[in-house]
Amino acid sequence: MDTLCSISGLDPLWDWNQTWYTHNPELSNCFQNTVLVWAPCIYLWVLSPFYCLHLYCHGRGRLPLSSLCSAKLLLGFFLASFGFVEFFYILLERRQEIQQHLVFLLSPVIRSLTVVLAVCVIHWERVRGCRSSVFLFFFWLLGVVCSLIPLHAKVQLAVDQGLSPDIVRYLAFFSYFALQLAQLFLSSFADQAPSGKAVLKNACPVQDASFLSKILFWWFSGLLFKGYRSPLQAEDLWSLREEDTSEKIISDLEEEWTAERTKLQHQENHLSTSIALGSRLPEQAQFLRKIQKEQSSGFCLLRTLARSFGPYFLTGTLCLMVHDAFMFSVPQVLSLLLGFMKDEDAPLWKGYFYASLMFLLSCLQSIFNHQYTYTCFTVGMRVKTAVMGLVYRKSLVVNSAARRTCTVGEIVNLVSADTQKLMDFVVYFNAVWLAPIEITLCLFFLWQHLGPSALAGIATVIFIFPLNGFIARKRSKLQEIQMKYMDGRVKLMNEILNGIKILKFYAWEKAFLEQVLGYREKELKTLKKSQILYSVSIASFNSSSFLIAFVMFGVYVLIDDKNVLDAQKIFVSMALINILKTPLSQLPFAMNVDGVVFENGTFSWSKDGPPCLKSRISVRVPCGSLVAVVGHVGSGKSSLLSAMLGETEKRSGAVSVKGSSAYVPQQAWIQNASLQDNILFGREKKESWYQRVLEACALLPDLDNLPAGDTTEIGEKGLNLSGGQKQRVSLARAVYRKADVYLLDDPLSAVDAHVGQHIFNKVIGPRGILRDKTRVLVTHGMSFLPQADLILVLVDGEISERGSYQELLNRNGAFADFIHTFASSERKESVQADLLRRLSVRLSVIEYMPFSRDLSQEQLISGDTNSITFEPLPDSDEDHIQEDLGKLTKVDKARIGRVKLEMYIEYFHTIGLPLIVSIVFLYAFQQAASLSYNYWLSLWADQPVINGTQLNTDLKLGVYGALGFAQGIAIFGTTVAISLGCIIASRHLHLELLNNVLHSPMSFFESTPSGNLLNRFAKEIDAIDNMIPDGLKMMLGYFFKLMEVCIIVLMATPFAAVIILPMAFLYGFIQANLLKLSRTPLRSPIYTHLNETVQGASVIRAFNEQSRFIMGVNHKVDHNQTAYFPRFVATRWLGVNLEFLGNGIVLAASILSVMAKGTLSPGMVGLAVSHSLQVTGFLSWIVRSWTDVENNIVSVERVKEYADTPKEAAWSIEGSSLPPSWPQKGTIEFHDYGLQYRKGLELALKGISVHIKEREKIGIVGRTGAGKSSLALGIFRILEAAKGQIYIDGINIAEIGLHDLRSRITIIPQDPVLFSGSLRMNLDPFDAYTDEEVWNALELAHLKNFVSELPDKLNHECSEGGENLSLGQRQLVCLARALLRKTKMLVLDEATAALDLETDTLIQSTIRSQFEDCAVLTIAHRLNTIMDYTKVIVMDKGHIVEMDSPSNLIAKRGQFYYMCREAGLL
């Protein structure tokens, strides 16, 4: 190169005296005309083949020829032409001395040919659909940067000598440079999208962003400024990119997952075969065990996730490595800057050069850091979507055995909390391998400055690291324990919310409140231990830089007096130690042809459990037949249907179901959707068939009673429908499906007799609309049996008999005994003689169906909790009102805008003023200590060296150590104080939330989805426990550190205030911008949907509707991520912009220090610049932590919101004069009593006046929705009176406490609810009775034999909802509860609806004998149970239409007479 340059008459390529050791540096002409010209050309020629190949393999469709592309091509043409013009000009002008101008001749040609290549690349990019070129952006950037030095030289030459000597070359160069700048500018924009491509509504702008916009996150600015102008709404948020959607992520993952599982299965099968052939080797056996372990521990899933998301994650890892390279360069440049300050003869330009270089490196470090973090969070978001999707799909296929080991609460917790841990794993994964490398590099550079003394730093690191590792392990164990208690608490809360009505009926709220608080106290106790350990960790981490510096500097000055600590050694070491803190902090985090055929089938609920269906069951159900399954409670009827559905474990044999199936469970499963949606269940609406189904299932009259007909929204679990209505909706869903096989689990038990008969005739029976379908009907209704083609009699999980009705009667076996024992001679005669006559009578449903305007026992719409005020509207808005009438549940709205100051005041008020003052004082003290020891270091660095040593090093070291240790103690005290204060606040807020929820009336639970409430107790309380304290610690810590840095910079260079103050205002603006963004939308819809799905999984599977539900959850997860994505991009936008701001402070401190070189000491410069380097991190962390606190303080707001909802009356009234033995007689008087479900609605009970004397047995009958159950709700004050009063033993029940009332009267409710826990706890949660009394109650409830055979007897653990007991057994447990309380008043609310006749008879006889001296009110479906009662009340449309003894009412031939006739009792 030197030869070529010398031929052209130029200087040598490089001359240090010309470039570095001079006050006016410049590069040689040879370097400017060769290297600087050829470098961009070499870049393009070498890399373009690879780039073009990449474009060929990843084409995205041809782009249209836009004006941007045309401009780039045109500029390229001009740029190429300039080089050729220059070449021909030299050729013509200098042809005589051409050899002396070879360099000037070659360079333009090379440059022009390179530009031609660039134009070709631009065209190829357009063909392959590349809208923003990173490759060409760097080419033009490199070209502009390489042209800057020649530009400076030519401008300087033109100033000195004028343009006249070579004006053409000057003009050519300036024009070329201008065009290069224009190309660089155009490369900063993205081209148009390919034509014909579908455009998403509100698509994410990152797809249209240029490379520059992507790396600086400018594409996000539009949303940010929109959010600044007005709070963002859901419709303002972007649609998810295709690669972020659930459908795309999970479909790709499922392919990988299937391949991975198949591969493992093949390996396992191969090894198993080898073992079977006798070629078992120890290594193979170990490998087989390893495979099995991997499958069970989730490594298989982890590998699948890595294969799906790994390549994109690796691009982020590359960014992190580049970031680390720049991070370690900054202290080296700082060392050079401090060396410059020390050297009095050094030229000023070097100082400015070092300051600018430090600024540039810091900016590049910021860019690569945020690109890495953006990649991590994107991958984390996708992993979370994937895992949530997989958990949901698993919940749809999980079998009964697994279902018993994992409750709904635990699954909700898995989706809410544990997926977050997976995201954290993605973020911290690189720390596992990168942190040790960073630590090693830090120590290597420290060795260069301090020599062997750096080993003392290694020793300190070796001490601190195991300490932090030990603390991390201990905290991990404590967090596991805390999560266990939290799971228990959430699971219990889920059960409480599901069974809240029972708790209120029994006045058991206090017992369960104590249980929840028991879990909570254990949780907080564990949290306190964890937080104290965390405080030790924080104190050791924040003091680690001091400890390492103290030990290293101490060893350095003590081992040799000649070792001098100057500014260079001290502050470069401090900068390296600050770098060392990051990997040290991350490492602990990185260290989790017949219709149905049974052949020799034996089934159980779990693999290890006893068989629920035994003796090798073999059944063939012919297509189109009606099979009735009968048996006593617990005989295995429901288990038989579950086996057909595949819900049980098959121990042996085979079962097959031909064609599609539909299932009607014993307890109706209703979705929180409109009544129409519940029936259609995802199918297209066919009006004629739909109306026919409604009529057959006796639902048409109910539609008239609902506010918005079939568009009325049904509450969770069907809370605003009666038991009968729910069962009919469940049946209608199955009928509408037009399936081949119908599995009906006692669907007629919850409906009135005449409605049951109507449904049998119109739907199930030989003339019903399902007559050609295969029907398996579990029933306790004897009247339906004669029409069954086949009857199966089950006894203890075995089929004891099978045959037609007449065949079984003639055999005189178990079935005949069953019939003869439980039907009176008159009833038997009636059943056999008049059955065909009664079945042939076509009842007019319209004549006998109810027309009451109330929505039955559990009306959901409560005026107090969910009232919607409608202004008078014009006629055109009638449809809108009609639509809102059917709305029921309150949508959990996202909060928008800033959190009110009152919320912070409320939160800090619960902590207490003395503790807050202590915290602020401790923070100020710790930062004062930090400032003091840093300033002390700068004074030490500036101390003059006398005879090669510094004086009083021991004293200096001692003062430095004392100040540092004082700071460490203050840090520990501060973090402990914040932790304790936040635990106090958390305990108070949880208790307040729990009390508010448990004191809420039933209407509140009916209008508030349980997912929302569960979310408060799970995610919101978790945020208050963990996120807010951590955010506060971080925010306050970094805020005080920032104050310290500003004070130090201002002490060194007071003029910096001119820069710091405007930057502070800009910083405030940015922060305000960010915090005005919409808050995180809620996840409750996902939780509620998951909750519903798990509970109705068997129904969903039976209807083969999994794909629709999966699409539903995909939509909900995507909706959630739509809000999450802008949030984390906002943090990246913020980080880049704030760090550029902070880098500006570094530049200002450095430039001002260089300018004040004569007056500033190196020690002070080192202190100011090394501290200003930390500003970028401080600014980002302050806003991030502030944003976190702001987002999480919302949890306080959401927990507090239930304080303002209406509450029911006091549980007990102090100073009440209620006698302890009240009620002694059990008399009840209704005085003109009225009840309504919501203000403004018609009364559900109207002017009820009745007197029930002591020991009277009252039966309450009426059509569905007549107001029967409303009477019970009124007596228990579940709903308060709209008018009138109820007196019990002469005392107005409205004037006594709710618990005083509810604990003195007893109900056996319609839905038997059990809670997870011991059987004894379910009978007596207050431990008020002895074991002997409990056993007596069980004996009377006919459960003693069953319970005594259980291994744990009374301590038998009931699963969630009592699912390990049959429905009949659960009803008997409710009877035992009533027998145990033995109050003077008993209410039976359709309690015998799910029981077989034998159990029913036992219960009735028990009630007659044990409650003989009590007043008994029975809300009955089976009229034979109340025929011997004292009186019968017949209700219709909220009125009492008849009341007398049963015999008198029959004689009057009124409504009761017709009801008895329909039931076959006359």
| Residue 1069: predicted pLDDT | 66
Collapse the DSSP code of 119 into the 3-class scheme (helix H, G, I; strand E, B; otherwise coil) and give the result.
helix
Q: Looking at the chain, how many residues does it have?
A: 1466
DSSP 8-state code for residue 666:
S
Q: Are the CB atoms for 828 and 818 separated by under 8 Å?
A: no
Highest-confidence range of 100-104, 372-376, 1240-1244, by mean pLDDT? 372-376
| Residue 592: predicted pLDDT | 45
Higher pLDDT: 135 or 885? It is: 135
Q: What distance in Å separates the CA atoms of residue 729 and residue 712, rounded to the nearest whole number?
A: 13
Helix, strand, coil percent content, the chain, rounded in steps of 5: 65, 10, 25
Q: Are the CB atoms for 1034 and 1181 separated by under 8 Å?
A: yes
Q: Are the CB atoms for 984 and 381 separated by under 8 Å?
A: no
Higher pLDDT: 495 or 879? It is: 495
| Residue 586: predicted pLDDT | 61
pLDDT at residue 232 is higher than 60? yes
| Residue 584: predicted pLDDT | 62
pLDDT at residue 10 is higher than 70? no
User: Vertex 551, ends 550 and 553: CA angle to 5°?
Assistant: 65
pLDDT at residue 243 is higher than 80? yes
Give pTM, 2 decimals.
0.65
| Residue 1085: predicted pLDDT | 66
**Mean pLDDT of the 874-903 span:** 50
Q: Positive or negative CA dihedral for 709, 711, 715, 721? A: positive
Higher pLDDT: 1206 or 166? It is: 1206
For residue 1179, the cross-strand partners are none
* DSSP string across 669-713: ---SSBHHHHHHTTSPP-HHHHHHHHHHTT-HHHHHHSTTGGGSB
Residue 386 CB neighbours (<10 A): 25
pLDDT at residue 1215 is higher than 80? no
Higher pLDDT: 5 or 263? It is: 263
For residue 630, the cross-strand partners are 793
Q: What distance in Å separates the CA atoms of residue 128 and residue 113, rounded to the nearest whole number?
A: 23
pLDDT tens-digit series, residues 1250-1301 = 898 888 888 998 877 788 888 888 888 888 888 888 988 888 888 888 888 8
| Residue 610: predicted pLDDT | 66
| Residue 348: predicted pLDDT | 85
**Mean pLDDT of the 966-973 span:** 90
Highest-confidence range of 227-236, 298-307, 356-365, 905-914, by mean pLDDT? 356-365
Q: What distance in Å separates the CA atoms of residue 174 and residue 176, rounded to the nearest whole number?
A: 5
For residue 440, the cross-strand partners are none
**Mean pLDDT of the 551-578 span:** 84
User: 1128-1153 burial string, b = 16+ CB within 10 Å, else e?
Assistant: bbbbbbbbbbbbbbbbbbbbbbbbbb
Confidence band for 614, pLDDT divided at 50, 70 and 90: low
Tokens 């009857």 belong to which residue? Answer: 791
Q: What mean pLDDT value characterizes the chain?
A: 78
Higher pLDDT: 1226 or 60? It is: 1226
| Residue 962: predicted pLDDT | 92
Range in 273-282, 802-811, 1010-1019, 1281-1290 the model is least confident about:
273-282
Residue 1101 CB neighbours (<10 A): 17
Q: Positive or negative CA dihedral for 37, 43, 49, 51? A: negative
Tokens of 679: 């029936």
Nearest alpha-carbon partner for 719 in 1436, 1311, 1239: 1311
Confidence band for 1076, pLDDT divided at 50, 70 and 90: low
For residue 1261, the cross-strand partners are 1434
Q: What distance in Å separates the CA atoms of residue 541 and residue 547, rounded to the nearest whole number?
A: 10
Confidence band for 849, pLDDT divided at 50, 70 and 90: very low
**Mean pLDDT of the 497-520 span:** 88
Q: What distance in Å separates the CA atoms of residue 1009 and residue 1121, rounded to the nearest whole number?
A: 21
Higher pLDDT: 1193 or 418? It is: 1193
Higher pLDDT: 480 or 875? It is: 480
pLDDT at residue 63 is higher than 50? yes
Cis? peptide before 1223, omega within 30° of 0: yes
Q: Are the CB atoms for 675 and 698 separated by under 8 Å?
A: no
Higher pLDDT: 463 or 840? It is: 463
pLDDT tens-digit series, residues 442-474 = 888 888 888 888 888 878 877 777 777 788 788
Confidence band for 163, pLDDT divided at 50, 70 and 90: low
| Residue 1073: predicted pLDDT | 57
| CA of residue 739 relative to chain centroid, distance | 36
Q: What distance in Å separates the CA atoms of residue 1270 and residue 1245, rounded to the nearest whole number?
A: 7
pLDDT tens-digit series, residues 945-957 = 777 677 778 888 8
| Residue 338: predicted pLDDT | 83
Tokens of 902: 């009152």
Range in 9-23, 237-251, 488-502, 1400-1414 the model is least confident about:
9-23
Q: What distance in Å separates the CA atoms of residue 1271 and residue 1276, rounded to the nearest whole number?
A: 9
**Alpha helix (H) residue ranges in 1385-1462:** 1397-1410, 1446-1452, 1455-1462
Residues 6+ apart with CB under 8 A from 537: 467, 468, 471, 472, 475, 588
Give Dmax over CA atoms of the chain in angstroms: 138
pLDDT at residue 1453 is higher than 80? yes
- H or E element, residue 1283: strand 1283-1288
Confidence band for 37, pLDDT divided at 50, 70 and 90: confident
**Percentage of residues in the chain with pLDDT exceeding 70?**
82
| Residue 977: predicted pLDDT | 92
* DSSP string across 212-237: HHHHHTGGGHHHHHHHHHS---GGGS
Number of helices (H), then strands (E), belonging to the chain: the values are 57, 21
User: 1061-1080 burial string, b = 16+ CB within 10 Å, else e?
Assistant: eebeeebeebbebbbbbbbe
Q: Is 52 buried (19+), middle (13-18) or exposed (0-12) by CB count in 10 A?
A: middle
Range in 187-196, 802-811, 864-873, 1200-1209 the model is least confident about:
864-873
pLDDT tens-digit series, residues 1355-1375 = 888 887 777 788 778 888 888
Higher pLDDT: 1309 or 750? It is: 1309
| Residue 732: predicted pLDDT | 92
| Residue 851: predicted pLDDT | 28
Range in 113-122, 382-391, 674-683, 872-881 the model is least confident about:
872-881
Q: How far is CA 625 from CA 282, 964, 1101, 1332, in A?
A: 58, 87, 23, 50
Nearest alpha-carbon partner for 1017 in 414, 491, 503, 526: 491
| CA of residue 596 relative to chain centroid, distance | 41
Q: What distance in Å separates the CA atoms of residue 1369 and residue 1359, rounded to the nearest whole number?
A: 14
| Residue 885: predicted pLDDT | 46
Collapse the DSSP code of 714 into the 3-class scheme (helix H, G, I; strand E, B; otherwise coil) and give the result.
coil
